[in-house]
Amino acid sequence: MRNHLAEEMLNLAVQLAKEAAELSLPRMGRTASRRKPDQSVVTETDDLIQSRMVDQVTRRYPEHAIIAEETHAKSIELPLPTAAQYCWVIDPLDGTRNFVAGFPCFATSIAVLDRGQPIVAVVFEHNLGHLYSATAGAGAQFQGRPIQVREPPGSRDILLGVPSSKDSLTQCVTRSWHATNGFVLRNMGSAAMHLAMVASGALSGAFCKRCKIWDIAAGALLVIEAGGRFSDPFGASRLPFRLDAEPDEDLPTLAAAPVVHGQLLDSIKSATEQPHEPG
């Protein structure tokens, strides 16, 4: 999809993501945090970034819907995601725990959906200034250059992004992958960054468990436009996203280069079918 509106929305998303970094970096490791009901972490910086993003999107596109991570955005008078053709999906600061701790890896993730299907994507890592972007049908880019997922040769380790959550599925999958020769696990603390790195070939695959639509909407388009596969952990399609679902619904996800994706699906199936010791 290369049209004027998509390019216009992409440019705005890039602008918003870069402005987010200008707000976050002076505050890294120096801001108070609080726990949300799901025990995830949020700061006043998340709120500030999101407020400015929502304001600019609504001024530019008042007919567009917005799904954004922090709850205060839900009180704003906006078109319903199920009623609008276009819906912006915004995570102002993915990797908030890293941000609070002063660990330099966190990103802004912005996607635009057309009736649930991602058509514009931006993931911007604040500390390195790394920009991943895509529009539907036009490929994915890193720092303005085309990127593709990468199938590692048989002699090379397969780097896989894994989450921090401690639920039973995550523990089952990570135990299995950790025990598999050639699988090397990485956790950057940001699902958006894991998916962006799959798209760029830095990771061969990524499993996300306690992720929401704002964690994965941009990454989904990046992976697909880079030639990868994006599904739930058992191979079922994740797209288009259901806009009538609860925004806080967990959307476990598996993304990878095509051959690796098949390997990972087989490994998850095998691991979840085997009995495990309690505890």
DSSP letter for each residue of 134-180: EETTS-EEETTEEE------TTS-EEEE-----SHHHHHHHHHHHTS
Domain-ending residue, one of 103, 125, 147: 147
> How confident is the prediction along the chain (279 residues), in pLDDT tens digits per residue?
458 999 999 999 999 999 999 999 999 988 776 665 555 667 889 999 999 999 999 999 999 999 998 654 445 678 999 999 999 999 999 999 999 999 999 999 999 999 999 999 999 999 999 999 999 999 999 999 999 999 988 768 999 999 998 899 999 999 999 999 999 999 999 999 999 999 999 999 999 999 999 999 999 999 999 999 999 999 999 999 999 998 889 999 999 999 999 999 999 999 998 754 443
Q: Are residues 74 and 163 in the same domain?
A: no
Note whether 198 and 218 are within 8 A (CB): no
Number of structural domains the chain divides into: 2
- CB-CB neighbours of 59 under 10 Å: 8
Rounded CA separation 277/141 (Å): 44
Query: Residue 82's closest CA among 247, 251, 232, 228?
Result: 247
> Do the domain assignments include residue 278?
no
Looking at 112, 147, 182, which one is the last position of a domain?
147
Specify whether 12 is located in the same domain as 132: yes
**152 is a domain residue:** no
Contact of 115 with 224, CB cutoff 8 Å = no
Same domain, 180 and 240: yes
Residue 211 belongs to a domain with what CATH number? Answer: 3.40.190.80
Q: Has residue 27 been placed in a domain?
A: yes
Domain encompassing residue 100: 4-147
Distance CA 140, CA 121 (A): 9
Task: Give the C-alpha separation, 71 to 50, whole Å.
Answer: 10
Tell whether 162 is covered by a domain. Answer: yes
Whether 110 is in a domain gets the answer yes
CATH number at residue 54: 3.30.540.10
The whole-model pTM stands at 0.93
Q: Is the residue at 60 inside a domain?
A: yes
